[in-house]
Structures are given as C-alpha cells and as structure tokens.
Amino acid sequence: MNNHGTHALYKSANSDVLRWIAERVSGRQLRAYFADIADAAGVEGGFHLTTDRAGRPWASGGGCLTARDLARYGLLFVRSGAGVNGRQVGSAAFIERTRAAPGKSLPPPRDFVRYSNQMNTDGRWVGHGGYGGQYMLCDLESGVVGVFFSVLENRDCYDPENTCEIIRMLAEVARSV
C-alpha cells in the first residue's frame, strides 16, 4: 500500500501486520526478539507485553516498562543498535535510513516531524510516542535519550498540542547537553 497523501497516516494495526511478516520471514517469534532487546538494553525492571488471546505480543504498543528502562531502550538507537554488552541487536543502517529518509510529515500541528520507518524524526533524532502521553526521543548526534511519561485523561488519550510541546522540549534538552 502506498500513502499518496501529503501527510503520514499512522495506524497502529500496521505494526501488527509487520509483526506477522517479520515472524513469517525470519521463522522466529516476536517474543524472542523482545527478549533479546530487553537483555541488550539492560532492562532492570519488568518488561510487560500485552498479548492477543493466543499469547502473541502486540507490536502496536503493548510494551510497558519504567521511564528509566525506556531510556535504556533508547540508548540502543544512539549506539547504532549495539547493546550494553556490545552485542548487535539493531541495524545501524536502518537507523540511519530512518533518520535520512524524506518520509512524510505528520499532520499539523506536528508537521515539523517526519514519519519514517515506523518512527518520528527531524533528521537529527528518532523517536516515538506511546498511548496516553509518553514519548521517547533519541538524539543521534548528542547521544542523549529523553523520555517523558504522562497520563492524558481525555476521551482519546491523545493531545497533538501537548505532544508537540513534549517533542520540542525533549529535542531542546538533547541539543543543549
């Protein structure tokens, strides 16, 4: 499918479709990849995954962990996919392509951010938001990872203006270090 529009149209279900494709192509379950990533990130607390009724993890936002452990996960991006033990669990080329790709801008007011390879970027950082107000931003130039946890108690658990403020704040902090 090709998005011929001017803006990215994020759909959580696309992540689960990609999960099915990845499992089929690799012959490996997603839960094994998540275990490798949690080990490489050095997760200290629990890493809880929401699953479907067959026990398969949701790829569309079913992971729950502490802010500190989310920042550890973000360090995998600034280390070009290398874990705390030096083991490569991510693709440096994928991270660089994500950052460099033209992508599609997000709809206003987030149109200062591009959507590329399931992530947000402005060319300097990569990041992604979570349900209800969370955001992780990984500045690939300064090596700083910023995370923001919050709870939005509105009908959609989403506020684009609030998200813009969070992204801009995290980017400013990451640049200033």
> What pLDDT is stored for residue 151 in this prediction?
86
CA separation, residue 27 to residues 43, 154, 176 (Å): 25, 40, 43
**Residues 85-102: tens digit of each pLDDT:** 999 999 999 999 999 988
Tell me whether residue 114 is in a domain.
yes
> H/E element holding 120?
strand 119-121
Tell me whether residue 3 is in a domain.
no
* CATH, residue 108: 3.40.710.10
> What pLDDT is stored for residue 8 in this prediction?
79
Regions in the chain scoring below 50 on pLDDT: none
> Which is it for the CA torsion 108, 13, 48, 45, positive or negative?
negative
Tell me whether residue 7 is in a domain.
no
Structure tokens at 66: 């502490």
Task: Tell if the pTM clears 0.85, that is, is over it.
Answer: yes
Q: Give the Cα separation of 50 and 65 in Å (integer).
A: 12
Its domain, for residue 168, covers 12-176
Tell me whether residue 6 is in a domain.
no
Tell me whether residue 4 is in a domain.
no
Contact status, residue 34 vs residue 49, Cβ threshold 8 Å: yes
> H/E element holding 35?
helix 30-41
Q: Domain count of the chain?
A: 1
